[in-house]
């Protein structure tokens, strides 16, 4: 007979004794369990002991709310308080070896939130900051004779500080300018010491993201130019933290300063290309990890968001400087250097000539083309792109304008109108003006290869539009159709993640209008093949078994489990948690992890569990409790689309933010299946369509080359008599 579900076998160790395999009743209070364990080794004063995980986390085990939490916490706190007090004293030891060992232990124990609370109550944060502010000078005197010891000591000090602050117990606004200066100095002094540099960058990032006052102080101490050299190394962790600090400085900078900061960064970035090729970060042989991909994505979003101001600025038809840009477009296209004399007769002639030229340039308003740029978006950004194209790709610009002006009116591709609509489309594709997502890793390497990447992107696409217009033999009535084809060409090319603008251009060459038609036809055939009535009836018949198959797949994926990232004010790479369903589909096991796992995480290594029977509901998006809290996550549309929560008991909740849309669909489908509800995700619909199509094709293999009628055969008339019926009696 199997043991009850609440009885588990646990291996427990005690220094100097053989480990024991004990049966633990999880219904008992933690104090009773600890007493039983202590009695097994004849240890007195059981209230002075606590259970601790034997894995690398070393986390202490505490009671859950609702199981005599206050009593057990008071008993357990004695252990935490003792350890915190001992470490607080040991890190102040006069012995360098003892201090080093104590700081090493502190860095390890600080990851436990219960221990962290006790150490912080002893004013431990202040002690660490004092050691950083003043103590390091004393250590530096010993650096020449004890360099490894000094580096390890400072590294453990900063690691403990980062771990303690990451629990969110202490406000970041409490730190002095001296501490900030010291941390900023480490970024320059300890470039060769990876651990110190990494922790220092992490602290700077958190300061900037969590406090406006600290942002101003950090911005005074560290410049973009001081950070860029750290991107030249080969350590991807350092590169990731460096870009994270740069992103944080951009995010928190005032609008006017953000523009200049990012421009300075891009200028310095590209000026270093001769000694610092992009392969150090993007084109390296090694794979880019998720955190680096995210930071590059954020940098990409922030770069494009600088265009928002011009995108939302209307043109002032009375502004002569803005009107001069249009005159410059006309001059470059038609080389109009000689103007008629300013006489009453030639004024009319000049107006007529301007109107004719503006019509050739493809503006909607031939008399006053400035009116074409009063719509936002794209506003003045479209005019900026047109001028850039005319100046930096002059031959292509003149060719397009003259080529179209020589065609019949209905067949010309209007350059002005096309540029305005194309700029608007590109802003939509790149989501200009939207906040960066907390979970997205979707960056495009080609945008980091040019300091005017958006303008170059436009130049490639406007030439594509003109080429597609000719291939489609389009007229003015087909304008919207051409724009739809061009958008499809751009989107398909972007999905291949070209590494350079030249590679993007070559991808577009292979996506001609003819190729797009072939792709569309293939997709349409797959959709239309099975729309006859008999096929639809067959689909309806086999759909329940396909849905059951999808349900089993979702539950199997939940059994495998998923690693979720813990999101807070600072994206830390070492904060993960794992959740998986038990094989019998009755319990959800979950717990914290030190790093992203390479495979499945065993059930017994996950500390917490939630019975499926206790789940009351699954909510998504803005209905999730963690999305209702104030903060950046609430404003982020993409994070809202990946958020879901499990509600249990009266107020219990388990909050998730899926790593991507696929995992979101898998988990919401699986949880709904566990609760007996319908699976309504987009992934389920796609899987259902795919599997139904495959199943139909398999069943119809024997009917190849046989025409299936759209309607069933008619029912024959009743016979005149039933004499042919045999009477069995």
Q: What is the pLDDT of residues 434-457, one digit of tens each?
A: 988 888 888 999 998 888 999 999
- Check whether residue 610 and residue 482 sit in a common domain: no
* Dist. CA 196–CA 53, nearest whole Å: 28
Please report whether residue 276 resides in a domain: yes
pLDDT value, residue 575: 74
For 155-174, what is the mean pLDDT? 90
* Dist. CA 104–CA 124, nearest whole Å: 15
pLDDT tens for residues 669-686?
999 999 999 999 999 999
- 713 class by beta-carbon count within 10 Å (0-12 exposed, 13-18 middle, 19+ buried): exposed
For residue 154, the tally of other CB atoms under 10 A from its CB is 25
The two structure tokens encoding residue 117 = 């609370």
pLDDT value, residue 165: 92
- 245 class by beta-carbon count within 10 Å (0-12 exposed, 13-18 middle, 19+ buried): buried
Tell me, letter by letter, the H, E, C secondary structure of 151-191: HHHHHHHHHHHHHHHCCCCCCHHHCCHHHHHHHHHHHHHCC
Please report whether residue 425 resides in a domain: yes
Contact call for residues 594 and 56 (beta carbons, < 8 A):
yes
* Dist. CA 547–CA 540, nearest whole Å: 11
For 151-165, what is the mean pLDDT? 90
pLDDT value, residue 272: 45
- CATH code: domain of residue 600: 2.30.29.30
State the residue range of the domain holding 401.
Answer: 312-337+344-523
Whether residue 423 is predicted with pLDDT greater than 70 in this model: the reply is: yes
DSSP state of 106: H
- Check whether residue 271 and residue 357 sit in a common domain: no
Rounded to the nearest 10 degrees, how much is the dihedral formed by the CA atoms of 199, 201, 203, 205? -150
Structural domain ending residue among the three candidates 287, 302, 323: 287
Contact call for residues 40 and 21 (beta carbons, < 8 A):
no
* Dist. CA 591–CA 244, nearest whole Å: 27
The two structure tokens encoding residue 27 = 């219904």
pLDDT value, residue 572: 47
Residue 168: left (phi > 0), alpha (psi -120 to 50), or beta? left
Q: What angle do CA 593, 596, 599 make, to 5 degrees?
A: 100
pLDDT tens for residues 511-533?
999 999 999 888 776 665 566 77
Number of independent structural domains in the chain: 4
* Dist. CA 285–CA 665, nearest whole Å: 32
- For the chain, count helices (H), then strands (E): 30, 9
Structural domain ending residue among the three candidates 78, 103, 128: 78
Contact call for residues 164 and 125 (beta carbons, < 8 A):
yes
Cα–Cα distances in angstroms (integers) from residue 728 to residues 634, 722, 725, in the given order: 76, 14, 9
Q: Which of 402, 427, 208 is nearest to 312 (CA)?
A: 427
Please report whether residue 105 resides in a domain: no
- Check whether residue 549 and residue 488 sit in a common domain: no
With residue 259 as reference, give the H or E element that holds it. helix 255-271
With residue 577 as reference, give the H or E element that holds it. strand 576-581
Backbone angles phi, psi at 367, to 5 degrees: -80, -45
* Dist. CA 532–CA 529, nearest whole Å: 8
Helices (H), 335-478: 344-360, 380-392, 394-405, 415-430, 453-472
- CATH code: domain of residue 57: 3.10.20.90
SS3 281: coil
Whether residue 277 is predicted with pLDDT greater than 80 in this model: the reply is: no
Mean pLDDT, rounded, of the chain = 82
From start to end of 515-642, where are the E strands?
A: 562-565, 576-581, 587-593, 608-611, 615-620
Backbone angles phi, psi at 22, to 5 degrees: -115, 145
pLDDT tens for residues 401-414?
999 888 777 788 99
Please report whether residue 164 resides in a domain: no
* Dist. CA 716–CA 676, nearest whole Å: 45
Q: Which of 124, 351, 299, 480 is nearest to 472 (CA)?
A: 480
pLDDT value, residue 280: 58
- Check whether residue 219 and residue 256 sit in a common domain: yes
Strands 587-593 and 608-611: antiparallel
Could you tell me which residues are beta bridge partners of residue 652? 648
Q: Which of 159, 178, 250 is nearest to 217 (CA)?
A: 178
DSSP state of 222: -
CB neighbours of 439 closer than 8 A, spacing ≥ 6? 294, 565, 567, 638, 639, 642, 657, 658, 659, 660
- Check whether residue 468 and residue 587 sit in a common domain: no
Structural domain ending residue among the three candidates 78, 99, 122: 78
DSSP state of 94: S
- Residue holding tokens 């813990």? 566
Could you tell me which residues are beta bridge partners of residue 619? 645
Please report whether residue 571 resides in a domain: yes
- Check whether residue 360 and residue 497 sit in a common domain: yes
**What band does 138 get if pLDDT is binned at 50, 70 and 90?**
low
Q: Is the dihedral of CA 128, 133, 135, 139 positive or negative?
A: positive
pLDDT value, residue 565: 83
Contact call for residues 103 and 153 (beta carbons, < 8 A):
yes
pLDDT value, residue 56: 53
CB neighbours of 600 closer than 8 A, spacing ≥ 6? 560, 561, 580
**What band does 509 get if pLDDT is binned at 50, 70 and 90?**
very high
More confident residue, 692 or 266: 692
SS3 611: strand
Residues in the chain: 729
C-beta contacts of 97-100 below 8 A and 24+ residues apart: 99/153, 100/149, 100/152, 100/153, 100/156
Backbone angles phi, psi at 497, to 5 degrees: 50, 60
- Check whether residue 322 and residue 411 sit in a common domain: yes
**What band does 223 get if pLDDT is binned at 50, 70 and 90?**
confident
Share of the chain above pLDDT 90, in %: 41
Q: What is the CA radius of gyration of the chain?
A: 34
- Check whether residue 498 and residue 614 sit in a common domain: no
pLDDT tens for residues 576-596?
899 999 999 999 999 888 777
Least confident of 13-17, 90-94, 486-490, 495-499: 13-17
Whether residue 546 is predicted with pLDDT greater than 70 in this model: the reply is: yes
SS3 375: coil
Contact call for residues 453 and 499 (beta carbons, < 8 A):
no
DSSP state of 86: H
Contact call for residues 627 and 637 (beta carbons, < 8 A):
no
Please report whether residue 621 resides in a domain: yes
* Dist. CA 421–CA 381, nearest whole Å: 11
The two structure tokens encoding residue 493 = 């090319």
- Check whether residue 505 and residue 564 sit in a common domain: no
pLDDT tens for residues 382-402?
999 999 999 999 999 999 999
Please report whether residue 303 resides in a domain: no
- Check whether residue 479 and residue 566 sit in a common domain: no
pLDDT tens for residues 634-667?
456 778 888 999 999 877 889 999 988 999 999 9
* Dist. CA 55–CA 601, nearest whole Å: 13
Please report whether residue 711 resides in a domain: no
- Check whether residue 582 and residue 657 sit in a common domain: yes
Contact call for residues 222 and 187 (beta carbons, < 8 A):
yes
- Check whether residue 549 and residue 493 sit in a common domain: no
For 247-269, what is the mean pLDDT? 68
pLDDT tens for residues 599-613?
788 877 888 889 999
* Dist. CA 565–CA 230, nearest whole Å: 26
Contact call for residues 22 and 37 (beta carbons, < 8 A):
yes
CB neighbours of 23 closer than 8 A, spacing ≥ 6? 3, 7, 8, 9, 10
């Amino acid at each position: 007979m199997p043991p009850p579900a609440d009885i588990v076998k646990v291996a427990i160790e005690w220094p100097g004794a053989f480990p024991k395999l004990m049966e633990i009743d999880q219904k008992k209070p933690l104090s009773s369990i600890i007493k039983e364990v202590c009695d097994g080794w004849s240890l007195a004063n059981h209230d002075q002991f606590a259970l601790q995980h034997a894995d690398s986390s070393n986390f202490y085990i505490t009671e859950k709310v609702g199981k005599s939490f206050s009593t057990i916490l008071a008993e357990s706190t004695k252990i935490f308080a003792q350890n915190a007090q001992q470490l607080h004293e040991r890190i102040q030891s006069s012995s360098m070896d003892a201090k080093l060992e104590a700081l090493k232990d502190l860095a390890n124990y600080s990851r436990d939130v219960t221990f962290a609370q006790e150490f912080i109550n002893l004013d431990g944060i202040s002690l660490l900051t004092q050691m950083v502010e003043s103590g390091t000078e004393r250590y530096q005197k010993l650096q020449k004779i004890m360099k490894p010891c000094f580096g390890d000591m400072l590294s453990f000090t900063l690691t403990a500080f980062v771990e303690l602050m990451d629990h969110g117990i202490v406000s970041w606004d409490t730190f002095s300018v001296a501490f900030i200066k010291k941390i900023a100095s480490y970024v320059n002094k300890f470039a060769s010491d990876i651990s110190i540099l990494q922790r220092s960058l992490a602290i700077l990032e958190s300061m900037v993201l969590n406090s406006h006052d600290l942002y101003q102080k950090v911005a005074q101490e560290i410049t973009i130019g001081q950070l860029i050299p750290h991107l030249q190394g080969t350590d991807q962790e350092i590169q990731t933290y460096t870009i994270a600090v740069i992103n944080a400085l951009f995010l928190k900078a005032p609008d006017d300063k953000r523009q200049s900061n990012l421009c300075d960064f891009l200028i310095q970035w590209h000026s270093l290309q001769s000694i610092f090729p992009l392969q150090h970060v993007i084109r390296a042989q090694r794979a880019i990890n998720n955190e680096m991909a995210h930071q590059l994505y954020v940098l990409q979003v922030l770069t494009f968001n600088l265009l928002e101001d011009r995108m939302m600025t209307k043109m002032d038809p009375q502004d002569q400087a803005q009107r001069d840009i249009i005159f410059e477009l006309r001059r470059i296209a038609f080389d109009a250097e000689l103007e008629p004399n300013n006489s009453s007769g030639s004024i009319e002639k000049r107006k007529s000539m301007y109107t004719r030229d503006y019509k050739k340039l493809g503006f909607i308003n031939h008399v006053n083309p400035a009116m074409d740029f009063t719509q936002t978006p794209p506003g003045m950004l479209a005019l900026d792109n047109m001028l850039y194209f005319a100046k930096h790709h002059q031959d292509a610009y003149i060719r397009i304008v003259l080529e179209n002006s020589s065609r019949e009116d209905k067949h010309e591709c209007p350059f002005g109108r096309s540029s305005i609509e194309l700029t608007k489309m590109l802003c939509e594709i790149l989501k200009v003006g939207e906040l960066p997502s907390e979970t997205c890793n979707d960056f495009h390497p080609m945008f980091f290869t040019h300091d005017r990447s958006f303008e170059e992107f436009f130049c490639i696409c406007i030439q594509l539009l003109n080429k597609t217009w000719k291939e489609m033999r389009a007229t003015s009535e087909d304008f919207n159709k051409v724009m739809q084809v061009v958008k499809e060409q751009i989107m398909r090319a972007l999905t291949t993640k070209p590494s350079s603008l030249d590679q993007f251009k070559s991808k577009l060459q292979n996506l001609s209008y003819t190729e797009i038609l072939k792709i569309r036809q293939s997709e349409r055939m797959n959709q239309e093949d099975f729309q006859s009535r008999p096929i639809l009836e067959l689909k309806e018949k086999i759909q329940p078994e396909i849905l059951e198959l999808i349900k089993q797949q979702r539950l199997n994926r939940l059994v495998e489990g998923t690693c979720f990232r813990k999101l807070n004010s600072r994206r830390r790479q070492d904060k993960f948690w794992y959740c998986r369903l038990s094989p019998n589909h009755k319990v959800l096991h979950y717990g914290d992890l030190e790093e992203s796992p390479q495979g499945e995480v065993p059930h017994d290594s996950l500390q917490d569990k939630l019975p499926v029977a206790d789940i009351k509901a699954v909510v998504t998006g803005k209905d999730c409790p963690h999305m209702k809290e104030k903060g950046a996550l609430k404003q982020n549309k993409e994070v809202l689309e990946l958020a879901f929560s499990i509600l249990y008991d009266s107020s219990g909740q388990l909050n998730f933010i899926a790593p991507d849309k696929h995992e979101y669909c898998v988990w919401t489908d699986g949880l709904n299946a566990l609760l007996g509800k319908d699976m309504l995700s987009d992934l389920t619909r796609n899987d259902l369509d795919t599997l139904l199509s495959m199943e139909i094709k398999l069943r119809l293999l024997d009917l190849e080359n046989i025409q299936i009628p759209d309607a069933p055969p008619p029912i024959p008339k009743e016979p005149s008599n039933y004499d042919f019926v045999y009477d069995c009696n």
